[in-house]
Amino acid sequence: MIDIVALQEHHLWAIDLQEHQQQSDFTDTEYVDALLNNGKSYAFIRNGNVLGACGFIEETTDRALMWALLAKNIKHAMIHIHKAVKKGIENAPYNRVYARVHTDFNTGIVWLNMLGLQPEGIERQYLKGHDFAIFSKIKGL
């Protein structure tokens, strides 16, 4: 069984991140504050192990950046996490939900498509010299 709990900072440190997410800097207090305090955010825990975290960074009352950080060895738990995240997107109060993913992170791109987000374009040199793809979901479309 996977427990979904309100995200706390110690959950972030406990995730053994996938390779393409290892640039996440939990020593950056602004980044951590954004993940914890700008919208709803959750951790996925099984048997005391943090399998991942996700949430929304609210930019306006109508728009939010969706984010997710997942563990390397997530395996079959991904099915449960996928369903929870998809439901979270559907129930989000925002008209526009969008996400960024490293252009070389094929698994992340596939997942965003499975979540119903549509590709919008590429942000060149977005983070540490890397290109990121933008995906979005607009309610009613």
pLDDT of residue 52: 94
- The pTM (predicted TM-score) of the whole model is 0.88
Per the listing, tokens 């040199």 go with 125
Q: How far apart (Å, rounded) are the C-alpha atoms in residues 45 and 140?
A: 32
Q: What is the CATH number of the domain that holds 14?
A: 3.40.630.30
pLDDT of residue 34: 84
Q: What pLDDT digit, counting tens, does each position of 12-54 carry? A: 999 998 887 777 767 778 888 888 887 789 999 999 999 999 9
Residue range of the domain that includes 72: 3-138
In the chain, the number of structural domains is 1
pLDDT of residue 141: 63
Q: What pLDDT digit, counting tens, does each position of 91-129 carry? A: 999 999 999 998 998 999 999 999 999 999 998 987 778
Residues 114, 82: contact at Cβ < 8 Å?
yes
User: 115 — phi, psi (to 5°)?
Assistant: -80, -5
Assign 25 to helix, strand or coil: coil
Q: How far apart (Å, rounded) are the C-alpha atoms in residues 52 and 63?
A: 23
Residues 77, 70: contact at Cβ < 8 Å?
no
